[in-house]
Amino acid sequence: MGCLIYSDPHEDGYVQGDTFPNGAWRPKDGVQRGSVADMPIYPGDPLTPGIGATKNAKRLPVKDAPTITKIPVLPISYGDAQPLLAALTGRVAPEAWRGGLGITYHVGPGAAKVHLKVKSNWEPLKPVYDVIAKIPGSSFPDEWVIRGNHHDAWVNGAEDPTSGMVAVLEEGRALGELLKAGWKPKRTIILCAWDGEEPGLLGSTEWAEEHYDDLRAHAVAYVNSDSNGRGYFGVEGSHTLEKFSNDVARDVSDPETQLSAWKRSRLHEIATAKSADQRKEIRERADLRIPALGSGSDYTAFLQHDGIASLNIGFGGEDGGGIYHSIYDDFYWYTHFSDTDFVYGRALAQTGGTAVMRLADADLLPFEFGNFADTVQTYVKELKALAEKTHDEIRERNREIEEGVFKASDDPRQPLVAPKVETVPPHLNFAPIENAAEEVTRSAAEYHKAFEEANANGGARLASASVAEVNRLLIQSERKLTNSEGLPNRPWFKHQLYAPGFYTGYAVKTVPAVREAIEQKQWKQADEAIAVVAGVLRDEAALISSAAAKLAAK
């Protein structure tokens, strides 16, 4: 058995735009590389889960590493995939499975035979090199602001990762100039160039595992970028930093429209909103919502293992994405089809640099809990709706089976497997998580009130000594969203609000233990997970309340 993966022109080839060399999109022979390690279990060195690779760790034998998949896999181009797909017979593929090649897509089986020969490098150990630079903080050297991007690439890597890495280098150069001019950051700034991101987030994960205790004690936030291009500013991450990331984007100018990066993103979101309700919210809400982080770049270990508030930033959307992870991602492509005059590279450095300097120099750290509480409430509503929908779907399907709907509408000459009657699930008890979300909302209001009072009269009180104590609590606010047991089936992932999908990979599943239990129809586990997440949220609310009380104290 083997697995061949190709990128269909429907997603990133001629259906989207002109192909290279006439345009930016993937040509017939473009092959998208990528890791197929089972990273939703844990990323990093497959042989040392949870342990930094340079520690004297006991390594798993390769055959026992759960993240090394056992089926050989190769990526191929659509040029090579087309004859294989054309040889498939059987039922016509469902609409969502059809691509943009000029053939009828079938699900198989078919007559085509493939001779698959995979040669892998199984040398057991190979060094990867992280580059770490540190500017010690002048007032709070034990509070660390971390900024990173990876430096390894699948092939040439002009866009991924160099377009992001050069911004971090430029930020480092600018901070160096400021140091020479006499400026010193109040907090410690750590700039990182990660190695081995593409094969499995190796460099960042091993570093974040190795320094786990120190990072849990000292890290304020991690700001990641990966690739950059022409277009709209995008940010994803921790919702305690949602307002902060909006504020940074308000102060960076979009180089091609001269609007602020924030305003351009906002107007773009209105243009692409899916409903009138969505447009209304964008127009009325003070800040743009930021998506949560799943996985796929170096923030993973910081956010989901160490519990450090994280942001992922970049520009893009006006350049074609058809060269991703292929040999075509080179300097020629980048300077012809992406950020051809590097103005968005400068904008990214301005954004990352502004974020880092504000985090490093703020009297009171810019965490905010109103948007966070609002997001938690949204998640709880989504989970309730998901449970309700699953419930209704099972009822409806059972009824249709009883009515004979499937048998009557199936093609007797090409029959499908008939669905089976399922037990109608019990109603879940959402009360614990709803009450906990209310506590978060109440504590967020307390914090907001204390902040408004402290910030009055020019904010003089924000520079007082008691604010340092508030900051120490704020730094722990993301840590509180983790627990030491981690998620069911994957203890490495400790964050209870954000994780990549266990079955779906990269993309985020919010409140994963609850959401995935519902999706998998594991009702008992869903009820248990609701109680666990409610506990985590109550702890978070307690921390926010004590931060509010400290901030309010004279």
Smallest distance from Zn ion to CB 505, Å: 15
Under a CB-based contact definition with an 8 Å cutoff, are residues 481 and 469 in contact? no
Cα end-to-end distance, the chain, whole Å: 69
Dihedral, CA atoms, 506, 509, 512, 515, nearest 10 degrees? -130
DSSP line for 183-223:
---SEEEEEEEESSHHHHSHHHHHHHHHTHHHHHHHEEEEE
Please work out the total of residues on this chain that contact Zn ion, with binding judged by CB under 5 A. Answer: 3
Q: Check residue 287 for interaction with Zn ion (CB under 5 A).
A: no
Shortest separation between residue 152's beta carbon and Zn ion, angstroms: 8
Where does this chain touch Zn ion (CB under 5 A) — which range of 12-20, 74-82, 222-230, 243-251?
222-230
| Pick 195 or 242: Cβ nearer Zn ion | 195
Q: Do the Cβ atoms of 235 and 249 come closer than 8 Å?
A: yes
The structure tokens 């990549």 sit at 500
- Give the shortest CB-226-to-Zn ion separation in angstroms: 4
Q: Establish if 210 lies at the interface with Zn ion (CB under 5 A).
A: no
Taking the least distance from each CB to Zn ion, the nearer of 26 and 538 is 26
b/e string for 98-120 if b means 16 or more Cβ within 10 A? ebebeeebbeeeeeeeeeeeeee
272 φψ region: left (φ > 0), alpha (ψ -120 to 50), beta (else): alpha
d(CA 180, CA 233): 31
CB of 151 to Zn ion, least distance (A): 10
Evaluate the omega torsion of the peptide bond into residue 21 and state whether it is cis, within 30 degrees of 0. yes
Segment near Zn ion (CB under 5 A); pick from 7-15, 161-169, 241-249, 407-415: 161-169
Residues 342-401 that bind Zn ion (CB under 5 A): none
Segment contacting Zn ion by CB under 5 A, of 56-64, 221-229, 332-340, 526-534: 221-229
Question: Is residue 160 a contact residue for Zn ion (CB under 5 A)?
Answer: yes
For residues 339 and 478, which CB has a smaller minimum distance to Zn ion in the complex? Answer: 339
Among 161, 199, 229, 322, the residue binding Zn ion under the rule CB under 5 A is 161
Beta carbons of 240 and 309 less than 8 angstroms apart: yes
At residue 116, φ and ψ (nearest 5 deg) are -100, 120
Q: Is 160 or 319 the residue whose CB approaches Zn ion more closely?
A: 160
* Bridge partners, 187 (sequence order): 140
Give SS3 for 73: strand
**Tokens linked to 101:** 């090649």
Q: With CA atoms as reference, report the closest residue to 290 among 388, 164, 374.
A: 374
CB of 387 to Zn ion, least distance (A): 36
Least gap, CB of 219 to Zn ion (angstroms): 22
Residue 123 beta carbon to Zn ion: minimum distance, rounded to whole angstroms: 23
Closest contact distance (angstroms) between CB of 351 and Zn ion is 17
Cα 295-299-300 angle, rounded to 5 deg: 45
The vertex-462 CA angle with 456 and 468, nearest 5°, equals 155
Interacting span for Zn ion (CB under 5 A) from 39-47, 96-104, 158-166, 438-446: 158-166
Here's the x/- map for Zn ion, 117-156, by CB under 5 A: it reads as ----------------------------------------
Q: Which helix (H) or strand (E) holds 501?
A: strand 498-501
170 or 516: whose CB is closer to Zn ion?
Answer: 170
329 counts as binding Zn ion under rule CB under 5 A: no
Instruction: Please give the residues from 32 up to 91 whose contact with Zn ion meets the rule CB under 5 A.
Output: none
Q: Is 226 in the site for Zn ion (CB under 5 A)?
A: yes
Q: Candidates 68-76, 225-233, 343-351, 528-536 — which segment interacts with Zn ion by CB under 5 A?
A: 225-233
Q: Environment class of residue 282 by beta-carbon count within 10 Å: exposed (0-12), middle (13-18) or buried (19+)? A: middle
Stretch of 40-48, 219-227, 312-320, 534-542 contacting Zn ion, by CB under 5 A: 219-227
Q: How far is the CB of 130 from Zn ion (least distance, A)?
A: 15
Compute the least distance from the CB of residue 227 to Zn ion, in Å. Answer: 6
Interface with Zn ion by CB under 5 A: which residues? 160-161, 226
